[in-house]
Amino acid sequence: MTLPPAVLWIDPGKATGLALYIRHMRQFTVREEAFISAGNLIESVCRAWGPQLWVGWEQFTIFPGTPAADAHHAIEMIGVSRRLAMQNRCLILPAAAPSDRNVATMRLLKELGWWVPNRDDAQSAAQHCLSWMMRSGNLPDDVAVRLAALRD
């Protein structure tokens, strides 16, 4: 697999985390937005990048006892994201389990400058983005060098 020109990871919910990596600029942006703002940002990114954008999100499973408000916000944001990605011919990545993000620790995100204090959903999106890059073998060269230096 080769890193696409742009990757967008979404942590869906009432507050939605968004992490965008643009390869040629080596630019990483992470935000946390309310439903409408998140949908608008996803729409503009999908329109701007089209088939050059790969989009992924954290899967959300409704269990007995899951608060209805949490469930509907997450499920609706996933639906909005899927529709916008499909409409703009973006590649949709397999949904990630919540635990899939754990390989990207706070230490790694802080080292890369991808950590956003006090924004749990933004941090989750950043973790998912970096974890996906690591799992799939799509680490940008500059990121791989910085992470390798941490291991030494």
Annotate the chain with three-state secondary structure: CCCCCEEEEEECCCEEEEEEEECCCCEEEEEEEEHHHHHHHHHHHHHHHHHHEEEEEECCCCCCCCCHHHHHHHHHHHHHHHHHHHHCCCEECCCECHHHHHHCCHHHHHHHCCCCCCCHHHHHHHHHHHHHHHHHCCCCHHHHHHHHHHHC
Is residue 83 assigned to a domain? yes
CATH of residue 39's domain is 3.30.420.10
Read off φ and ψ for residue 18, nearest 5 degrees. -130, 125
pLDDT tens for residues 6-58? 999 999 998 999 999 999 999 999 999 999 999 999 999 999 999 999 999 99
pLDDT tens for residues 83-134? 999 999 999 999 999 999 999 999 999 999 999 899 999 999 999 999 999 9
80-103 in b/e form (b: 16+ CB < 10 A) is: bbeebbeebebeebebbeeebbee
Is residue 133 assigned to a domain? yes
Pairing state between β 6-11 and 15-22: antiparallel
Which range marks the domain in which residue 45 is found? 6-151
Quote the pTM value.
Answer: 0.93
Is residue 18 assigned to a domain? yes
Is residue 118 assigned to a domain? yes
How many structural domains comprise the chain?
A: 1
Look up residue 30 and give its amino acid. V
Is residue 80 assigned to a domain? yes
Is residue 1 assigned to a domain? no
What number of other Cβ atoms are within 10 A of residue 66's Cβ? Answer: 12
- The answer to whether residues 46 and 57 touch, using CB atoms and an 8 Å cutoff, is no
The pLDDT of residue 103 is 93
Is residue 136 assigned to a domain? yes
